[in-house]
Amino acid sequence: MATVREGRMELRFPGSARVERLDQRGTPLPYGMALVDFVVEEASRSLLIEVKDPEGAPDPYREEELRSFRKKMKGNGLIHNELVPKARDSYTFLHLMKRDGKRFILVCLLGVGSPDPALLGDFKNRLLARLRQETTTAWARQYVKDCVVVTPATWASVFPNYPLNVA
């Protein structure tokens, strides 16, 4: 069983899934690339997992972090400036390493308590639209087949075989 941690989020991956931290501190990356936190290679798909956890910020800054994060979720800053570039760069990295033979699913684990489900649904739709088209023309290849936006409270309903603990 592989266990990985990002901030206060600990994920366990039992079975045959291959898990790797892509944004390993101290590991050199190609200049200008930003990678997702983890890639989980299953038998039929690869999960690109990005953890965003403003609730994990230190106490004096937590409320400001949450306010800022919610604002970025309602707008396009988080999608355009962080999530889509990390997904694209991670895919490119894995493609160049000949590890792109399976469909890719972007998983965003958001440590934001219990946001409005409508906000999460809208966020997912905007994220997927941006993954498919970043310029005036849609990408000819849909390098990410789908995306999933979850919170710690909804994680188990989507990934019941991968336990999540929040410290």
Is residue 148 within 8 Å of residue 124, measured between CB atoms? yes
DSSP letter at 97 equals T
pLDDT tens figures, 1-50: 899 999 999 999 988 789 999 988 888 888 999 999 999 999 999 999 99
Q: What is the pTM of this model?
A: 0.94
- From 60, 163, 150, select the one nearest 114 (Cα to Cα): 150
DSSP letter at 54 equals G
Which tokens sit at 25? 């501190």
pLDDT tens figures, 91-114: 999 999 999 999 999 999 999 877
Which tokens sit at 139? 């990408």
Within 10 A of 112 (CB to CB), how many other CB atoms are there? 19
